[in-house]
Copies of this chain bind each other. A is one copy, B any other.
Amino acid sequence: MRRPAIAGEALGSFLLFATVIGSGIMAERLAGGNVAVALLGNTLATGAILFVLVTMLGPVSGAHLNPAVTLVMRLRGHIGTGSAAAYVCAQLAGGILGVWAAHAMFAAPIFELSEKARNGPGQWLGEAVATFGLVLTILGTAKVRPDSIPASVALYITAAYWFTSSTSFANPAITVARSLSDSFAGIAPACVPAFVAAQIAGALAAHIVSDILFSDIPKEAA
């Protein structure tokens, strides 16, 4: 278990979650009620920081920043159980600090709970599809063109913010962290378990499907 890798997961989650929450607050405050305009700002910021973090932290920790990704990497044997547990703790701790830092930056109450209900079969299907696509993108791109992982992850989430009804959380840690923010990107705590279950189902499906699609292809075939 390398210390810089754990630090990388914590710091990366801090910056990622601060961006998701902070840009959501900024966007909602400035958008004058046009939610699509607010979502454009939120999307642009999230996609941009993902490129930066995955580029910079990829060689440090793999830049998971997401327990669903860490789970699949554990299942595929790329990371040990102890390291995986430490990764998830770092993601949650760093990420929640990021949410609170965003609140502090925007002079909002630090500690709060979201009251934004997000539920129903449509949103659960959305989370499953979103996480399936994210994990498939990571596994497939790593196989065929690893240099494109930062751009592909950033652009996948950019698309998924718009094509799923839930705006693609696709990450159990960010789902928990967002429940601690009563803002644009929040989710009521009671809605968290179903989101996380759908995300794990989608991630496991991608773990299986990627073997069908990519097993024939020699590494860096592109």
Q: Give A contacts to B, CB under 8 Å.
A: 2, 4, 7-8, 11, 15, 18-19, 21-23, 26-27, 30-49, 51-52, 55-60, 101-102, 104-107, 120-123, 125-126, 129, 133, 136-137, 140-141, 144-145, 147-148, 150-152, 154-156, 158-159, 161-167, 209, 212-217, 221-222
In contact, A106 and B165 (Cβ under 8 angstroms): yes
**Most B C-beta atoms less than 10 A away, residue of A35, A36, A43, A164:** A36
With contact pairs A36-B37, A44-B43, A48-B156 given, residues A125 and B104 touching in the complex (Cβ less than 8 Å):
yes
As for how many copies of this chain the complex holds, the number is 4
The answer on a CB contact under 8 Å between B152 and A45 is no
> In the bound complex, what is the Cα–Cα distance between A148 and B107 (angstroms)?
34
Are A27 and B162 in contact, with the CB atoms below 8 A? Answer: yes
